[in-house]
Amino acid sequence: MDILRIGLVSISDRASGGIYQDKGIPALESWLNSALATPFELETRLIPDEQMLIEHTLCELVDEMGCHLVLTTGGTGPARRDVTPDATLEIADRVMPGFGEQMRQISLHYVPTAILSRQVGVIRKQALIINLPGQPKAIQETLEGVKDAQGNVVVHGIFASIPYCIQLLEGPYVETHAAVVVAFRPKNAHREINR
């Protein structure tokens, strides 16, 4: 059985330089531990905003480490040093525009500046690569979606679609804890998992 391998890349000049503590990777690790019912292994990287280094890191995680999912955090705005989407597109085999559209849709419920985000989702070989925001609160909102006061989903988070995407890429069957996020897949794509 193929174990789910996830790459986490925090992209920040200041955090990678030790000026402040990286919050992206701890936030992603914590969220994945609460959301995933499927066992997984993590590969983490903390790197500066250098396009060639980002490209190299993404390629390494997919091509050498065999990650099925790579989540980046940081470097997605309009500032000159924000080159994460550029690096991601450079190494992509195919673009998955729905992820960027949905991430901005979710974030616009919270901040009008979400329209400045250039986050993308792409496929490289067997892997789905997604650029997430840099702030822990925004990471959680993007993954889980917009919920009302009763906890009902108003706008779906992007993670609802990720398990089925990994399945379509012939990766492992991924299950989630419904209290955090419900993985959506068509009825014919459901499997019974023997525990």
Name the pTM for this structure.
Answer: 0.95
Class for domain 4-189, per CATH? Answer: alpha beta
pLDDT at position 193: 61
- 190 CB-near residues (< 8 Å, 6+ apart): none
pLDDT in tens, 63-118: 999 999 999 999 999 999 999 999 999 999 999 999 999 999 999 999 999 999 99
**Residue indicated by tokens 């986050």:** 119
The H-assigned helical ranges of 36-158 are 51-59, 84-90, 97-107, 136-144
Q: Where are the domains of the chain?
A: 4-189
Count helices and strands in the chain by DSSP H and E runs? 7, 8
Task: Give the distance from CA 137 to its chain's centroid.
Answer: 14
The residue ranges of DSSP E strands in 63-119, in sequence order, are 69-73, 94-95
**Residue indicated by tokens 């979710």:** 106
Tokens, residue 136: 């822990």
pLDDT at position 1: 59
Tokens, residue 99: 């992820």
**Residue indicated by tokens 């992509």:** 92
